[in-house]
Structure 1
Amino acid sequence: MEKLSGKQARFLRGLGHHLKPCVMLGKEGLTDSLVASVEEALEIHELIKIKIQEGCLLDRKDVAETLSQRMGAQVAQVLGRTILLYRRGIDPKIKLP
């Protein structure tokens, strides 16, 4: 999967600004159920926010990289403890510039 261009990443960050996190990553880390939740959320929404809670000891950039590789998704942003992930759907709702 090709990397997002700067323009596409900015566009997705703009769309993601108002989103609420739909997946919370806690002290258990990257469990199978968490990965399944991310997969389901990406299928439904294409663009999702993942919140890393205080108890999680994993590095946020490592988490973003791991999830993007496992999901076939792209990281639009890692800001603080929030990751913005994008994966184009079968019937895309989001039209990238």
Structure 2
Amino acid sequence: MINGKQRAMLRKMGNRLDPTIQIGKGGINENVINEARRELFDKELVKISVLRNVPESTKQISDEIARQTGAEVVQVIGRKFVLYKRNEEEPIIML
């Protein structure tokens, strides 16, 4: 669990990121979850964009991906959101 100060730092870092995963009309599937897990393991902080043709809200999608990957939602803005999951073996971001 991250506190407010840590969340603010992660939001600041997330603002500079480009989305590395896009969720299309197929929604959340096994490939999206696996890619999110891989990105979170490699980078700890991931920005994901949701295309306009997705019927679910960005908040619903971010919560579901966070639940399935064990990550935390740092920020949801419009059609993009940022996830964080600490790499216990080799931490990259020091909070």
TMscore range, shorter length: over 0.9
| 1:16 Cα deviation after fit | 0.8
Corresponding residue for residue 85 of structure 2: 87
Corresponding residue for residue 7 of structure 1: 5
Task: Give unmatched runs, 5+ long, in structure 1.
Answer: none
Corresponding residue for residue 19 of structure 1: 17
Q: What is the Cα-based RMSD across aligned positions, in Å?
A: 0.8
1:83 counterpart SS class: strand
Alignment length (residue pairs):
94
Corresponding residue for residue 60 of structure 2: 62
Say whether 1:77 aligns with 2:75. yes
**Percent of matched pairs sharing the same residue:** 32
Q: Counterpart amino acid of 1:94? A: I
Structure 2 CA distance for aligned equivalents of residues 33 and 73 of structure 1: 17
Task: Give unmatched runs, 5+ long, in structure 2.
Answer: none
Q: Counterpart amino acid of 2:90? A: D
Q: TM-score, normalised on structure 2?
A: 0.95
Moved over 3 A (4+): none
CA shift digits 1:36-71 (9 cap, x unpaired) = 111111111100000001111111111111111111
Corresponding residue for residue 33 of structure 1: 31
Structure 2 CA distance for aligned equivalents of residues 51 and 76 of structure 1: 14
Q: TM-score, normalised on structure 1?
A: 0.93
